Chain A
Amino acid sequence: MPRKTMIEAIRDAIDVSMGRDERVVVYGEDVGYFGGVFRCTAGLQAKYGKSRCFDAPINESGIVGTAIGMAAYGMKPCVEIQFADYMYPAYDQLTQEAARLRYRSNGEFTCPIVVRMPTGGGIFGGQTHSQSPEALFTHVAGLKTVVPSNPADAKGLLIAAIEDPDPVIFLEPKRLYNGPFDGHHERPVTPWSKHELGEVADGHYKVPLGKAAIRRKGSAVTVLAYGTMVYVALAAAEETGIDAEIIDLRTLLPLDLDTIVESVNKTGRCVVIHEATTTSGFGAELVTLVQEHCFYHLEAPVARVAGWDTPYPHAQEWDYFPGPARVGRALIETMEA
């Protein structure tokens, strides 16, 4: 199978979807002629024409609002917000409109849109190019929230998201666009061409929403992660020598609770990790669910390693980002608890 970067896999997914269904339209800031600031839509306008892939005004609420109108008409818009940090002007449209169209109209109108947004830190993006706002979406009834961690999943999940009948927030960890990243910023980055999950099948395939993947089988402790933190967890397990079972959630809502519960009931320990700030982050939901469903199997408190409760800083990037050292310490403490 050909190896692709995450960018190429995403572009491939959109290409496949546009080719199969003429209702799929793609737009956003710099998405058309230029092909996106991260190149995720390069070549699509030339291939499908300006009616299918086009540039939008710098207006996130307008991008999502028009997409909702298009979906109500019967299209399947796959739109882009240039950075997740800039989704806030569209938050009203996403939470009060996209998420509730089906519910409030009793199914008369539906909103099969995908809103792609590059997310996450580790790139010296500072306060407004590093955020991980997933908890602001998982708290919203009616939205689905997806975070891929590799090219193979990115393509399959994105095709599944585009074909899904409900609105999907598709968060793309931009730190993973060109290669996996385990938090070891001092080492050179390896490209996806050297990673088996860089193998992306041609043509149409789907990775189902709502299904987690176990990235490392283990028996000592369960680690719940997604996006960039999957690789941080893998590195931490390697470096501490702890036999962690690492679950890549892939979809945050709907969540694959069965896989989580089965794993924690087996290991008796759990560490939840994410880049987003700690308080009221998605980790709080995960910890609660594990506590509710695995209480009698737990041998230690469920630990949480996440971003600090501060805005994402610039110079202090590696003091903020929950790297393998911090995650490793949590693994050790959980094993010793």
Chain B
Amino acid sequence: MAPASKSTSVGPEAGATSAPLRFHVPEPEVRPGGAPDFSRVKIPEAGSVERPPVDADPESIRKLAFSIIRVLDRKGEAVGPWAGSLTDEELVEGLRHMMLLRTFDARMQMAQRQGKTSFYMQHLGEEAVSCAFRKALAPGDMNFPTYRQAGLLIAGGYPMVTMMNQIYSNEADPLKGRQLPVMYSAKEHGFFTVSGNLATQFVQAVGWAMASAISGDTRISAAWIGDGSTAESDFHSALVFASTYKAPVVLNVVNNQWAISTFQGIARGGSGTFAARGLGFGIPALRVDGNDYLAVNAVAKWATERARSNLGPTLVEYVTYRAGAHSTSDDPSAYRPKAESDAWPLGDPVIRLKNHLIVRGIWSDERHTQAEAEVLDEVITAQKEAEKHGTLHAGGKPSARDMFEGVYEDMPPHLKRQRQQAGV
């Protein structure tokens, strides 16, 4: 037996034969001041990715996890096997939803700057993901969204005034002022209560889907998570449970390249793509152009049909770009080039769909300008209505008594005592 080393140093041992180990920390290609560079993002031609049958063996479609399903080409034409999932009316409606969401965002961002609320989070550049996905769901299905899927509400017809009431925490706030802005809850609209804790909803969505299957129901659920949060352990939990029980759930990963200041390589590690994470669990995984409304809708329909056909879960990675700041508390110029969103190779979802509709002959620049004005008017009208009920610091407020309600179904004695102490 060799004698124990007498060295107390934490440095290299004398006699070591290999070179010192080096610690690896991934970095984005470019930092502020540099020229944006997305040459690492390989963008396949629109229409070039196959559309397998929904009951395809996961093994046989592995390569879909490493490509990008795209429908709209550079000329604005819809091409390839994933085209044709939407009618003209649905496409025009889709454009309108994305414009509404973008305008809603802009107005609420401004409202936050005006001190009417404490906080806001935009969807700029990601409007297609939640708006187009929503149109693939059936009544009764349940989304488990993050804080950046309000398109599910807009495209689902949820009243913007109610959303604003929540953002303003005013007297008409359906959540009684208890929740941070944008943490909506809308059960009747298939929108599960948003939590501040990242990734928790991803596994809850799987449980909801398991319950639907246990009940012999036909409803499915949709789980949502961002690229950064895939590193949370609940992402893994969700994939294990979804895979084990073949839960009827669509597992959506919105890869917008950024988790606050952290580029997606920090979460993804050495994996080729986020979609590839599904493969190890035997879950079919698709990667889709997140700025292509048509592609998102087509993939969503494929995945929801799989779930409804009892074929189990699907993992979908939406490749997109977070064009705005993470939140109203964030300044992206501190960690990425200012012009990076302009250089994003998948462009802008609103402009791309607009161009497609023009190519299709069902839209024009004039109509678009008019639609922008209409949408702005609609949002401002909603905003005026909401502000009649108050904003965070002015006007009508939820009652202080509401603070004590709803912790339990029936208020226990200790809370009654505290409510009394609070004098409300």
A residues contacting B by CB (< 8 A) are: 25, 51-52, 56-57, 59, 61-62, 65-70, 72-75, 77, 89, 92-93, 96-97, 100-110, 141-142, 144, 165-166, 210, 253-255, 257-258
Q: How many A-B residue pairs have CB under 8 A?
A: 142
B197 at interface, CB cutoff 8 A: yes
Name 19 interchain pairs, CB-CB below 8 A, sorted by A.
A51-B214, A65-B207, A69-B204, A70-B210, A72-B207, A73-B142, A73-B212, A77-B207, A93-B234, A96-B196, A101-B193, A104-B178, A105-B185, A106-B406, A108-B185, A109-B187, A165-B409, A210-B412, A258-B413
A141 in contact with B412 (CB, 8 Å): no
Q: In the complex, what's the smallest C-beta–C-beta distance from A67 to chain B, in angstroms?
A: 6
A72 in contact with B178 (CB, 8 Å): no
Q: In the complex, what's the smallest C-beta–C-beta distance from A173 to chain B, in angstroms?
A: 24
Select the stretch in B83-91, B238-246, B272-280 that faces chain A: B238-246
The distance in angstroms between the C-alpha atoms of A93 and B202, with both chains bound, is: 11
- Binary per-residue interface labels of chain B (178-199) against chain A in the complex, 1 for a CB within 8 Å, 0 otherwise: 1100010111000011011100
B192 in contact with A109 (CB, 8 Å): yes
Interface hits, B61-102 → A, CB 8 Å? none
Residues of A within 8 A of B311 (CB): none
The distance in angstroms between the C-alpha atoms of A52 and B210, with both chains bound, is: 11
Known: A69-B144, A105-B187. A57 touches B241 (CB 8 A): yes
The distance in angstroms between the C-alpha atoms of A317 and B413, with both chains bound, is: 38
B residues contacting A by CB (< 8 A) are: 142, 144, 174-176, 178-179, 183, 185-187, 192-193, 195-197, 200, 203-212, 214-215, 221, 233-234, 236-238, 240-241, 244, 406-409, 412-414
- Name the contact of B409 in the complex, choosing from A65, A97, A166 (C-beta under 8 A): A166
- Name the contact of A65 in the complex, choosing from B175, B196, B203, B406 (C-beta under 8 A): B203
A25 in contact with B214 (CB, 8 Å): yes
B237 in contact with A61 (CB, 8 Å): yes
Please classify the interface of chain A as helix (H, G, I), strand (E, B), loop, or mixed, using the class held by over half of its residues.
Answer: mixed
Q: In the complex, what's the smallest C-beta–C-beta distance from A69 to chain B, in angstroms?
A: 3
The distance in angstroms between the C-alpha atoms of A154 and B178, with both chains bound, is: 36
Please name the residue on chain B nearest to A257 by beta carbon: B413
The distance in angstroms between the C-alpha atoms of A87 and B375, with both chains bound, is: 49
The distance in angstroms between the C-alpha atoms of A257 and B417, with both chains bound, is: 12
Residues of B within 8 A of A255 (CB): 414
Residues of A within 8 A of B236 (CB): 59
- Name the contact of B203 in the complex, choosing from A25, A62, A210 (C-beta under 8 A): A62
Q: In the complex, what's the smallest C-beta–C-beta distance from B137 to chain A, in angstroms?
A: 16
B192 in contact with A97 (CB, 8 Å): no
Residues of B within 8 A of A101 (CB): 193
**A59, A77, A92, A104: residue with the most chain B Cβ atoms closer than 10 Å:** A104
Q: In the complex, what's the smallest C-beta–C-beta distance from A301 to chain B, in angstroms?
A: 24
Residues of A within 8 A of B406 (CB): 102-103, 106-107
A68 in contact with B207 (CB, 8 Å): yes
A89 in contact with B175 (CB, 8 Å): no
- Name the contact of B195 in the complex, choosing from A73, A89, A97, A141 (C-beta under 8 A): A97
Known: A106-B185, A108-B187. A62 touches B240 (CB 8 A): yes
The distance in angstroms between the C-alpha atoms of A68 and B187, with both chains bound, is: 15
Q: In the complex, what's the smallest C-beta–C-beta distance from B57 to chain A, in angstroms?
A: 23
Contacts beyond the supplied A70-B210, A110-B409: 9 A-B pairs with Cβ under 8 Å: A61-B237, A65-B237, A67-B207, A73-B208, A73-B211, A97-B197, A105-B185, A106-B176, A109-B193
B233 in contact with A69 (CB, 8 Å): no
A69 in contact with B214 (CB, 8 Å): no
Please name the residue on chain A nearest to B179 by beta carbon: A104
B241 in contact with A62 (CB, 8 Å): yes
Please name the residue on chain A nearest to B244 by beta carbon: A57
- Name the contact of B175 in the complex, choosing from A73, A96, A105 (C-beta under 8 A): A105
- Name the contact of A254 in the complex, choosing from B142, B233, B238, B414 (C-beta under 8 A): B414
The 10 closest A-B pairs by CB, nearest first: A69-B207, A66-B207, A65-B203, A62-B237, A254-B412, A69-B204, A73-B211, A105-B193, A69-B208, A105-B185
Residues of B within 8 A of A104 (CB): 175, 178-179, 183, 185, 193, 195
A61 in contact with B407 (CB, 8 Å): no
- Name the contact of A66 in the complex, choosing from B186, B187, B206, B408 (C-beta under 8 A): B206
Please name the residue on chain B nearest to A209 by beta carbon: B412
The distance in angstroms between the C-alpha atoms of A36 and B211, with both chains bound, is: 22
Please name the residue on chain A nearest to B198 by beta carbon: A92
Q: In the complex, what's the smallest C-beta–C-beta distance from A259 to chain B, in angstroms?
A: 12
B408 in contact with A75 (CB, 8 Å): no
The distance in angstroms between the C-alpha atoms of A257 and B413, with both chains bound, is: 9
Known: A61-B233, A108-B187. A144 touches B211 (CB 8 A): no
The distance in angstroms between the C-alpha atoms of A89 and B240, with both chains bound, is: 15
Please name the residue on chain B nearest to A67 by beta carbon: B207
The distance in angstroms between the C-alpha atoms of A210 and B414, with both chains bound, is: 11
- Name the contact of A72 in the complex, choosing from B176, B192, B197, B413 (C-beta under 8 A): B192
Residues of B within 8 A of A107 (CB): 406
B206 in contact with A61 (CB, 8 Å): no
A141 in contact with B413 (CB, 8 Å): no
The distance in angstroms between the C-alpha atoms of A102 and B405, with both chains bound, is: 10
Residues of A within 8 A of B238 (CB): 62, 65
- Name the contact of B408 in the complex, choosing from A59, A70, A142, A258 (C-beta under 8 A): A142
The distance in angstroms between the C-alpha atoms of A210 and B410, with both chains bound, is: 12
B193 in contact with A96 (CB, 8 Å): no
The distance in angstroms between the C-alpha atoms of A257 and B409, with both chains bound, is: 20
Residues of A within 8 A of B206 (CB): 62, 65-66, 69
The distance in angstroms between the C-alpha atoms of A277 and B149, with both chains bound, is: 44
